[in-house]
Chain A
Amino acid sequence: SQQGEEDPQALSIQEGENATMNCSYKTSINNLQWYRQNSGRGLVHLILIRSNEREKHSGRLRVTLDTSKKSSSLLITASRAADTASYFCATDSGYALNFGKGTSLLVTP
């Protein structure tokens, strides 16, 4: 069953603004990953954060993980129109990845 739950479901912002998406999960994990998916396309792996890490950066992306609250956040800074996509968190518990329902991000010029 799906484990990750993202919020918000949809987010609309203007270019240059920051976008924050949250993910909650239910059981213990080895790591948590964030993916991007453009409409009708495959998944693009963005970042992986391990269960013993609290924060990770990659370019304009910042991911936090709070295992006590079983939650993670993805921050995209200085957003661009090209960031428009669906974003999914996925938890790895040593088996297949469990994907959340995703956040649909729209960045308008």
Chain B
Amino acid sequence: GAVVSQHPSWVICKSGTSVKIECRSLDFQATTMFWYRQFPKQSLMLMATSNEGSKATYEQGVEKDKFLINHASLTLSTLTVTSAHPEDSSFYICSAHRVRETQYFGPGTRLLVL
């Protein structure tokens, strides 16, 4: 099956710093990638849709200036959590959509903001 990687797998940072998370589709091109967030003991919630070569589409309630998304190529999307705060601590998962197939999920990035 298709492979999607995320980097880093976990990160601990101080409040106020910015954190960048990368999502890569390793063996296929993805014009669309999705970013999800999962708080402890909860389900995955879609944050935004990342489209190659255009601006991301954010779900209601997600601050676009706080969660910067850049889909620079057909195999890479990045999510930057700017000025992270403890309430941003969560599990961030990306997925890449392969044309005429379904989405393939990355292994996730656990963010802990102290």
Q: Which of A43, A92, A95 contacts B105 (CB 8 A)?
A: A43
Inter-chain contact A99/B107, CB cutoff 8 Å: no
Q: Which of A77-109 contact B (CB under 8 A)?
A: 88, 92, 95-102
Q: What does the 1/0 interface line of B1-17 toward A look like (CB < 8 Å)?
A: 10000000000000000
A26, CB-defined interface residue at 8 Å: no
Inter-chain contact A99/B44, CB cutoff 8 Å: yes
Q: Which of A32-54 contact B (CB under 8 A)?
A: 33, 40-43, 45, 48
Q: Which of B49, B102, B103, B106 contacts A42 (CB 8 A)?
A: B106
Inter-chain contact A101/B42, CB cutoff 8 Å: yes
Inter-chain contact A45/B108, CB cutoff 8 Å: no
Q: Which of B1, B36, B42, B108 contacts A41 (CB 8 A)?
A: B108
Inter-chain contact A42/B43, CB cutoff 8 Å: no
Residues of A within 8 A of B34 (CB): 96-97
Q: What are 27 contact pairs spanning A and B, CB under 8 A?
A: A2-B43, A2-B45, A31-B102, A33-B102, A40-B91, A42-B93, A42-B107, A43-B44, A43-B93, A43-B108, A45-B1, A88-B43, A88-B44, A92-B103, A95-B49, A96-B46, A96-B103, A97-B34, A97-B46, A97-B95, A97-B103, A99-B36, A99-B43, A99-B44, A99-B45, A100-B43, A101-B43
- Which B residues fall within an 8 A CB radius of A? 1, 34, 36, 42-46, 49, 91, 93, 95, 102-103, 105-108, 110
Q: Which 5 A-B pairs have the closest CB atoms?
A: A42-B107, A42-B108, A99-B44, A99-B43, A96-B34
